[in-house]
């Protein structure tokens, strides 16, 4: 029975570690989705403005098209840099999450195996007692 308690405690601890690591991943995934949304929105803005800028000679004469292009390029670069950093964080967090899940799964497997072995021993003992009744 001592091993039962130890396995139950190990299971509780590994489950808590897994849940903690899982909680750390969620904000990173949210930030990644936010940045990808910004990139998509920026791409849509560029496509929408392309026809307007091409048709407007006044904008070209004032250099607005070049300023817009410069702003767009800088904004895309900044978002991509942020996205690269968040992606690196995500990979590190997912690696920790995989390790925590592996530990959790291993302890659960050990506990299930221990319970199965104990049940088998108990059944064998009962069977031996039953056979000795003759």
Based on its alpha-carbon atoms, the radius of gyration of the chain, rounded to whole angstroms, reads 30
pLDDT at 131 over 90: no
pLDDT at 1 over 70: no
**Ranges of each domain in the chain:** 1-133
Which of 3.40.50, 3.30.1490, 1.10.287, 2.60.40 would CATH assign to domain 1-133?
1.10.287
**CB 23: neighbour CB atoms within 10 A?**
10
pLDDT score for 134:
54
**CB 76: neighbour CB atoms within 10 A?**
15
pLDDT score for 68:
82
Helix, strand, coil abundance in the chain, percent, nearest 5: 95, 0, 5
The CA–CA distances, whole Å, from 93 to 76, 88, 111 equal 25, 9, 27
Report the pLDDT averaged over residues 67-83: 93
pLDDT, one tens digit per residue, over 4-58 is 889 889 999 999 999 999 999 999 999 999 999 999 999 998 888 877 766 777 7
| Coil, helix or strand at residue 106 | helix
Report the pLDDT averaged over residues 102-125: 94
pLDDT, one tens digit per residue, over 63-73 is 777 888 899 99
CA distance 66 to 82: 24
- Residues making up the chain, counted from first to last: 134
Q: Which residue has the higher pLDDT, 69 or 107?
A: 107
And the tokens for 18?
A: 């897994």
Crossing angle for the helix pair 2-55 and 64-131, to the nearest 10 degrees: 160
């Amino acid at each position: 029975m001592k091993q039962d308690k130890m396995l139950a405690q190990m299971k509780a601890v590994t489950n808590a570690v897994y849940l903690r690591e899982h909680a750390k991943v969620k904000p990173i995934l949210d930030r990644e989705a936010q940045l990808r949304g910004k990139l998509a929105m920026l791409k849509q803005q560029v496509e929408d403005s392309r026809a307007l800028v091409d048709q407007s000679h006044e904008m070209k004469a004032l250099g607005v098209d070049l300023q817009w292009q410069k702003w767009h390029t800088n904004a895309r670069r900044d978002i991509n840099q942020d996205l690269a950093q968040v992606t690196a964080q995500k990979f590190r967090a997912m690696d920790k999450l995989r390790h925590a899940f592996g530990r959790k799964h291993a302890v659960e497997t050990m506990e299930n195996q221990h319970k199965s072995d104990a049940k088998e021993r108990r059944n064998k003992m009962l069977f031996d007692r039953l056979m000795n009744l003759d």
